[in-house]
A and B are shown apart, each in its own frame.
Chain A
Amino acid sequence: MSIVVKNLNFSYGNRKIIEDVSFTAEEGELLVILGPNGVGKSTLFQCILGLLPGYTGTITVNGDNARNIGIRELARRMAYIPQIHSPVFNYTVFDIVLMGTASQISEIGIPGKEHIRLAEEAIERLEIGHLRDRAYTQISGGERQLVMIARALAQKAKILVMDEPTSNLDYGNQIRILSHIKSLVKQGYTIIQSSHNPDQAFLFSDKVLALLEGRVLAYGSPKDVISGDVIKQLYSIDVEVENLHNGKVRIFLPSALVNH
């Protein structure tokens, strides 16, 4: 499944939040959206997910205009993995993952064997079987993120939209989440995720979209987009660039910290 965004614009009243944004994420591609806070990443996600219908431009999900896809059908194509949150009520991990199957259950139905199987499978794939009957509010942030990914898999959607999946996680959990994301991309999932970490984005993304003040600052392969120049403009800091490991790894050394 692919997603194509063309000339997307969105404003709140007179304030333009998104201006002329275009990009494509093909099947089996990982697109990372980089940009400072408040640059319109969340708004962009909300437009893509069908939560803000007031945009202009077109969003095409697997060949169909997103405006013509019903809520249910859209959910079968695209799943959202929110930042770590805590629900008001105390559900078990299994309950939460099972909720992912909602778009396949009739309006007044409850999950049947098939949906339970989907949830079990998703839990297996993310290797969180030991958490199955634990309370979602009582597991760690990294574990919750895995549960959210499992829920998206149970949703059977092939496009996954992730809002900073590694924020607020310790280093080990960041790597664990990223390697799960990487393996999902290999299995043919299309993933769009926002990130605050250019080094990480360089390491594992297929495409990068750099957003600044609602506009596309740069778009393309990580080698082209994630340059010293772009980082300087995006975050208004001076950086030095080092390429390591035959150019597989690129790190940015903030001048303010290095040249002391």
Chain B
Amino acid sequence: MRYLKTSEAAALLNVSPNTLRAWERRFGFPKPQRSPGKHRLFTHGEVAALRDALQEGLSISSAISRAREGLAADANSLVGALASYERERADAAIEAALALRSVERSVEEVLLPTLDEIARRYTVESAAWAFAAHWGSDWLRRAMRLTPPPVRQVSIVLGDASRDELDRDAPYIRALELFCVRAGVKVLSLSARGVAGIGDAAAVHRPNLVVVAGGHLDDDTVARWAYAIRLAVGAMPLAIYRRGAERPRVRATGTTVLPPGAGDAQRTLLELLESDQIATASASAAAAELRAQGRIARSHR
């Protein structure tokens, strides 16, 4: 994946950086990612597609529409490959998507919409969905194995409350896991069914946050699992992901409900982790100050 800075993308399109930023505001395209320093990073594929479309366009809007159509072709070809049970062609389609987008955007804009389309078109009871869900889950796990080791000092425990990989929520949970790992967060993914020995796992992992993801398991099972974690490592923030908004809840105080999109959920999680870190850091700073004040008071005495 090749990224371009704003000035490089503007030079490729023969426009000024201000014009490029104006297009992003008005049309939402090309859509940049952000570097760790919050600078815009445009994917070369999107900029090149727009440059070609501008040659033939009658307006910026129509050129952008054409460029978007070209990029959407990846999702269509992936749907076709999965619907015809062709694993190699599906791999090639997602590779083509990766040539134009980051891993996160390929998953969010191509893989997950494709799986949704297969489920909508053929239902989750179909062989097509079984094949597509298995392929999607396999691809996400492969992508996770290729991710460099975590760099942040934060970790989460993810309680998987989905049925199995044929659950419609399962690809979203795997995608959230992948996005968090790629953001440098240590993730321990466990089934929310298993309570035995959970204390040992949690004590070793020392999570900053617990996420319960998936809507298949009932609230009692999930609550038992969360309670076992709490017994092992104490109280900590809890977030729920794709548990079903319509499910009636008895008590959800202090729980954060993550947005259904994997990318949005990852961003919310990172904000939660950062605020938790800030809170922990200010608590330790306050404690250190109190200790220092105590020492001064003792020395005065």
Whether both chains belong to one complex is answered with no
B residues whose Cβ falls under 8 Å from a Cβ of A: none
